[in-house]
Amino acid sequence: GEDVEQSLFLSVREGDSSVINCTYTDSSSTYLYWYKQEPGAGLQLLTYIFSNMDMKQDQRLTVLLNKKDKHLSLRIADTQTGDSAIYFCAPRGGGYQKVTFGTGTKLQVIP
């Protein structure tokens, strides 16, 4: 099955950029999702990228995909205290294979 790895913790200062990294093992992954879990709240889809794309930008969010290295990153520009949350990388295999979640990276934003 798919293995997905993320660093557990990231701390940044308000206004700086945050980069959350993810590596995965299944080269047939088609869609790669980022979910956000705020304290005491449920998981929400933040953004996603299709495997034939290298980059996707959505306001302050930039997703970069290096398919050769099976490396995905999420960059948050001008990080705000409201961005403090756990971010999960979740690739999905080809066809209707299940989505596999990473361990999650807890982002702490220091005012």
Partner 1 sequence: GAGVSQSPSNKVTEKGKDVELRCDPISGHTALYWYRQRLGQGLEFLIYFQGNSAPDKSGLPSDRFSAERTGESVSTLTIQRTQQEDSAVYLCASSPGTRVDRQFFGPGTRLTVL
Q: Which residues bind partner 1 (CB under 8 A)?
A: 1, 30-31, 33, 35, 42-45, 48, 86, 88, 92, 96, 98-104
Q: Where are the alpha helices (DSSP H) in the chain?
A: none
Minimum distance, C-beta of residue 78 to partner 1, in the bound complex (Å) = 26
Nearer to partner 1, 12 or 43 (CB): 43
What is the nearest approach in angstroms of partner 1 to the Cβ of residue 89?
A: 10
- Please name which of 35, 79, 29, 75 lies closest in space to residue 55, comparing C-alpha atoms: 75
**Cβ of residue 35: shortest distance to partner 1, in angstroms?**
8
Q: Is 100 helix (H, G, I), strand (E, B) or coil?
A: coil
Residue 9 host element (H or E): strand 9-13
Q: How far apart are the C-alpha atoms of 34 and 85, rounded to whole Å? A: 12
Nearer to partner 1, 12 or 101 (CB): 101
Whether residue 16 contacts residue 109, with contact meaning beta carbons closer than 8 Å, is answered with: no
Q: Which lies closer to partner 1 via its Cβ, residue 14 or residue 67?
A: 67
Q: Which amino acid is at 83?
A: D
Nearer to partner 1, 40 or 82 (CB): 40
